[in-house]
Amino acid sequence: MRKLSLALFALGLAALPMTAQDLPDGPGKDTFSKVCSACHGLDIIVVLKHSKEEWKTVVDTMASYGASAKDEEFDAIISYLAKNFGKGDAPANLKTK
């Protein structure tokens, strides 16, 4: 699983840069954009597909690396990611370049 995540991470680095306006709309989008883009591009996230529990683990790891947000903001980010970048199909409203 870890090797797969690292491979997907590398693929994400090769993707075109993504901006917040390219992301699906919904609760948590602005918080996700603000908190997560403080350390890395958003494009490395959207190639990943995780369950809500897996996204929680990713977000907890990022918090341990220094991502800063209130607990309710982290919860909103996890819910946003699980809904829009969960296991299954990509969201229909994701804009591509």
| pTM of the predicted structure, to 2 decimals | 0.71
| Of residues 38, 59, 53, 48, the one with CA closest to residue 84 | 48
Query: pLDDT tens across 39-80, in order?
Result: 888 888 878 899 999 999 999 999 999 999 999 999 999 999
| Of residues 81, 74, 62, the one with CA closest to residue 24 | 81
Question: So where are the chain's domains?
Answer: 2-84
